[in-house]
Amino acid sequence: MNTNLKFKLYDKKKNKIVNYVDCSISIADGGVQSFNKDGIMQGTLNNRHLIPIQYAGKKDMNGIEIYQGFIVKRIDRVTKEHVITGAVTFKNCSWWIENKVENRKVLLFTLSPVDTVIGNIYQDKELAREIGSEFKEEIKNG
């Protein structure tokens, strides 16, 4: 398991997941504090449209990094059977693939899965709805 603590940001205004290097993320409330090109803070009020999403420390079979809120399809490496399709979540100190419609979840880190990122809950509304993980955050103040 990778111990790097990395984040990407979902930009609600652009409906896009972005890499943003000129910011810090508040652990307490998940707020994003950005800085201008001169290193001057710009304030979190202007950044309520930015949602931090954490790296889970794992890549899928195609080398794509898996982040919180990504939708993963899991196939068993041995039996080749479909195991679950769900959103990656962090609960009870562990990363999970969770399908709320089927009311089940499996650990992200196991021995014989083949995981493939097929979307994310932020941009793929229909796919997120199918697994019961709709992203409902509204843009506030901006």
Note the pLDDT tens digit of each residue in 44-62.
556 777 788 899 999 999 9
Per-residue model confidence (pLDDT) at position 74: 97
Confidence (pTM): 0.81
Which residues of the chain carry a pLDDT beneath 50?
138-142
Per-residue model confidence (pLDDT) at position 140: 44
Q: What is the dihedral of CA 127, 83, 96, 8, to 10 degrees?
A: -50
Per-residue model confidence (pLDDT) at position 12: 87
Closest CA to 30 of 90, 87, 71, 88: 90
Per-residue model confidence (pLDDT) at position 51: 83
Indicate the SS3 state at residue 139: coil
